[in-house]
Amino acid sequence: MASNTLVDGGDDVLYAQFLSCVVDAPSYQLRGVEQVSPNSGTKRYIPDSPSSLTPAEGMLFDTVDDAYNFYKTYAEAGGWTVRKGTKHENRGIVINKYFFCSKEGQKEFRPVDTLVEQPSDRWVRRVPSKRTGCQAAIRIKLTDAKKYLLYHFTEAHNHDFVHEEDLHLLKENRGMNRAHEDVINKMSHLNIGPVRAFNIMKEVYGGFDKVGATKVDFKNFKKELNLFIGELDVEMFVKRLMRKNEFLPNFSCEYETTYEGVLKCIFWGDEDMKKNYFMFGDVISFDATYKRNKYNMMFVPFTGIDNHNRNVTLGAAILGSETAETYSWLHKAIKNACGYAPPVIVTDQDPAMKRAIADVWPESRHRLCMCIIMDKLTTKVGAALYSNTDFRKRLSAVVWTDSLLPEAFETEWAAILKDFGLTDHEWLTYIYGLRESWIPAYYHEEEMSSLMRTSSRSESENHFFGKISNPKCTLVEFLSHFDTAIEAQRHEHRKNDHDTRYTNPGEWSDFVLEKQAAQIYTRTIFFDVQLEIQHAIHRCTSVRLDHVGDFIKFFIKDLDQPCSSFFEVMIRKEDVTVKCNCNRFEQFGLLCSHIFCVLRILDVREFPKQYILRRWTREAVPNSSPGSILTDGGDPDRSEEVNRCVREISHATEYVVNKLISKFDQLSDFRDHIKQFMSVADEAQINAPPKTRRNRFAELLGVAPESTATIRVPVGTRVTCWKYTVVVPEAGGSRNAEGNVDTIAEGVDATVVEGDGPGSNDADDVFYTSGNDADMDDEDMVE
């Protein structure tokens, strides 16, 4: 019992402490002066704004905007917001204008009959109202002196006011500015949605209240952007590429549509892609297995290997089907753009692709992806046999090796099938019939044939593009994502070139050709050559030599090769013509360790120039200028110059901050200087009207604001056809604060135009959207 009493007493103490904390906690204090009627008990609230900001009857203003801005400043100081109301015009001149508290009027709630079955796609959102029927307002009228006189002022409100800490939550005090829009658009290029973009800005700016907009504002802007694109997506996409074709040198773009104007396929490539194709197009990979987009169309990049042994994009296409006709069109477009077909092309086992290559590129060697074929082995021969280590080891030894000749491969293949009872296996017989298209033994004499055996390069390229794109994005967005990816790829190439020029790889031997190779090849390729040289020095030896005409035949023993035979190296000393029967130079374009062993024995002091392929050298291709892929050259409204100026201002500001970060006094002076210029900017007279929403969207997307579509999206695909209607003010009209259009007919005297006057419910409108929101960071859109 005593212990229970003790516990009860302890609980009483904790409860008393809790009540003390609640009592001591600061309560939400009202702003302004509250007045209560002694008769009716009605409350009135008077703002506590400074007297210098308080309106007074008899004040004069030069323009309507001056009056509005004065009343708005007064409202912000008191913790409430203003809405533009009714105006009277005479021949386009405002003669009377009302400004209200934003809580003026009452919202009309429309009841929903829950007993009536509603359509499955109808979703009614319950939106509360901020309207309280507040009567606070000012009214101005035009005088004979062409000034606007404040002739009516109601100061009292019927509601309390918002505290300074919460002012940023008011709709009137937030909005999407240019910085917000640029962040959303540029983050989208990296496959970052509006919610994550908002969270990034919150961290950068130092809090939610510093952003100047809400997460909902960000999501709605992104949705508006997609609505603007809408069913004009393909039209804008093609027009943007064609504008690149018009303004950028040596840019190629071809597309094909149906008779109904539906896009079937499109190919494009810029000048750098063509240069890379010329230099690195000896073997290319073509993979049409990339995930389809929202229109069920495939993105198809052409991939090669650059002088750093990295993937390089040689061209790109979007295809609506996988037919031989479509592939034939694409191959013709590539040949038209680049001038010739690639010597070797690696693809999957698509029969339509095989027919198209045979028809359009008969001179090209079509090679099938070895990985795709070997990956089918488990399902074709059964898990039990595939798990047999001896079977896998023997099969891989004959399939993947470069050392076997065709006769040896055929003999060993037959032996494997016989030993494991697979002589009559249908699938193995079928792929054996295709052996000349995928087995390395049949590519011994093919130049650069071992550079790319599989389409894994394309799969890697698809993964690269997939990191900054998604199948839900529009074609216009995808093109921005693609340009961003190519820019990243070219930046990486530039960085690899820089590392090659300004770093020393280090030498492992005193062999003079090793030092020369370090100055010839890129860093990555030199490391490979260096390994061959080390192997030549430590693991290769000459066992005998023969003289064959002008040549000397060396028999080289490779200690790392299990075979008992020797590698044969033929060399003519006069011009250092050399060949090894391992065919590494023919297959990769780089000398093998056996040749380096012979060159060292003969004390060759200069790297043989005829065996230096430019594709592996430091200066194989020139670097493009940074950012070149992101522009199309056509900039009639100087938006690119404006963006460049904004970036320079931002970089200059960051530079000053970084220099003064440890000098607080000077940093404070710089802050004060910036704030002083902010006030100058507020007072600046802006003569040019702001861009319309449509033109701003067009600027962000790098397209023209189209009105009709001559090129349409494929029929029956997974796409929502949006409609984006823009109300254009008629002659003599003006747009009010809420976006409503106030119009007046020419020649009509003193017509009353209902903008947002008493009884109007437009200020509580919500941006309604619909459609697929999968690209909205997996969060629901405000409906």
Question: Rounded CA gap, 502 and 306, in Å?
Answer: 19
**What are residue 137's DSSP bridge partners?**
100, 154
Residues 6+ apart with CB under 8 A from 95: 88, 89, 141, 142, 750
Q: Look up residue 325 and give its amino acid.
A: E
Q: What is the mean pLDDT of residues 4-16?
A: 54
Q: How far is CA 174 from CA 205, 208, 226, 511, in A?
A: 15, 11, 22, 70
Q: What is the mean pLDDT of residues 589-608?
A: 94
CB 319 within 8 A of CB 295: no
Nearest CA to 242 out of 738, 745, 706 is that of: 706
Q: What is the three-class DSSP state of 620?
A: coil
Nearest CA to 348 out of 459, 447, 246 is that of: 459
Question: What was the pLDDT predicted at 600?
Answer: 94
Q: How confident is the model at residue 348 (pLDDT cuts 50, 70, 90)?
A: confident
Question: Rounded CA gap, 494 and 165, in Å?
Answer: 49
Question: Rounded CA gap, 537 and 539, in Å?
Answer: 6
Question: Rounded CA gap, 155 and 137, in Å?
Answer: 7
185 C-beta neighbours (distance < 10 Å), count:
21
DSSP string, 220-275: HHHHHHHHHHGGGHHHHHHHHHHHHHHHSTT-EEEEEE-TT-BEEEEEEE-HHHHH
Q: What is the three-class DSSP state of 606?
A: coil
CB 290 within 8 A of CB 317: no
CA 41 to chain CA mean position, Å: 60
Q: In what order do the strands lie in the sheet with 93-101?
A: 60-61, 148-154, 137-142, 93-101, 82-90, 751-753
The pair of three-digit structure tokens given for residue 329, joined into one six-digit string? 């069109």
Residues 6+ apart with CB under 8 A from 710: 235, 261
The pair of three-digit structure tokens given for residue 97, joined into one six-digit string? 């204008």
Q: Lowest-confidence range among 193-202, 324-333, 744-753?
A: 744-753
**Residue keyed to tokens 């023969």:** 546
Tallying the residues shown for the chain, one arrives at 783
Nearest CA to 263 out of 243, 242, 249 is that of: 242
The pair of three-digit structure tokens given for residue 440, joined into one six-digit string? 């390395």
Question: Rounded CA gap, 452 and 280, in Å?
Answer: 12
**Residue keyed to tokens 């392929």:** 613
Q: What is the mean pLDDT of residues 120-143?
A: 82
Kindly state the DSSP code that residue 303 receives in the 8-state scheme: E
Pairing of strands 93-101, 577-580: unpaired
Q: What is the mean pLDDT of residues 56-69?
A: 92
Above pLDDT 90, what percent of the chain? 33
Above pLDDT 70, what percent of the chain? 78
Q: How far apart are the first and last CA of the chain?
A: 60
Q: Look up residue 547 and give its amino acid.
A: H
CB 56 within 8 A of CB 154: no
User: Can you say whether the dihedral through the CA atoms of 309, 315, 318, 324 is positive or negative?
Assistant: negative
Question: What was the pLDDT predicted at 497?
Answer: 93
354 C-beta neighbours (distance < 10 Å), count:
18
pLDDT at 757 over 50: no
Q: How far is CA 371 from CA 348, 350, 367, 388, 577, in A?
A: 9, 14, 12, 19, 36
pLDDT at 765 over 70: no
Residues 6+ apart with CB under 8 A from 55: 70, 71, 74, 138, 150, 153
Pairing of strands 344-347, 365-368: parallel
Select the more confidently predicted residue: 629 or 645: 645
What φ, ψ does residue 578 adopt, rounded to 5°?
-140, 150
Q: Look up residue 316 and give its amino acid.
A: A
Question: Rounded CA gap, 241 and 253, in Å?
Answer: 7
Beta-strand ranges (E) seen in 446-536 are: none
User: Can you say whether the dihedral through the CA atoms of 738, 740, 746, 750 is positive or negative?
Assistant: negative
pLDDT in tens, 484-510: 889 989 999 999 999 999 988 888 888
User: Can you say whether the dihedral through the CA atoms of 392, 395, 397, 401 is positive or negative?
Assistant: negative
Q: How confident is the model at residue 186 (pLDDT cuts 50, 70, 90)?
A: confident
Question: Rounded CA gap, 736 and 764, in Å?
Answer: 15
Q: Lowest-confidence range among 92-96, 456-460, 556-560?
A: 456-460
Question: Rounded CA gap, 760 and 606, in Å?
Answer: 89
Question: Rounded CA gap, 348 and 365, in Å?
Answer: 14
Q: How confident is the model at residue 291 (pLDDT cuts 50, 70, 90)?
A: low
Taking the whole predicted model, whether its pTM rises above 0.75 is answered as no
Question: Rounded CA gap, 233 and 217, in Å?
Answer: 23
What φ, ψ does residue 263 adopt, rounded to 5°?
-65, 125
pLDDT in tens, 551-589: 999 999 998 877 668 899 999 999 999 999 888 898 889
Q: How far is CA 69 from CA 99, 313, 676, in A?
A: 11, 54, 20
Select the more confidently predicted residue: 630 or 371: 371
260 burial via Cβ count (<10 Å: 0-12, 13-18, 19+): exposed
pLDDT in tens, 380-409: 888 888 888 899 889 888 888 877 888 989
Q: Look up residue 138 and give its amino acid.
A: I
Select the more confidently predicted residue: 778 or 539: 539
Question: Rounded CA gap, 483 and 627, in Å?
Answer: 9
Select the more confidently predicted residue: 90 or 112: 90
CB 327 within 8 A of CB 356: yes
Q: How far is CA 653 from CA 181, 460, 482, 648, 675, in A?
A: 20, 39, 30, 8, 13
Q: What is the mean pLDDT of residues 632-651?
A: 70
141 half-sphere exposure, CB direction, 13 A CA radius? 8
CB 515 within 8 A of CB 530: no
pLDDT at 724 over 60: no
**What are residue 300's DSSP bridge partners?**
317
pLDDT at 307 over 80: yes
75 burial via Cβ count (<10 Å: 0-12, 13-18, 19+): buried
Question: What was the pLDDT predicted at 67?
Answer: 93
Radius of gyration of the chain (CA): 37
Select the more confidently predicted residue: 750 or 213: 213
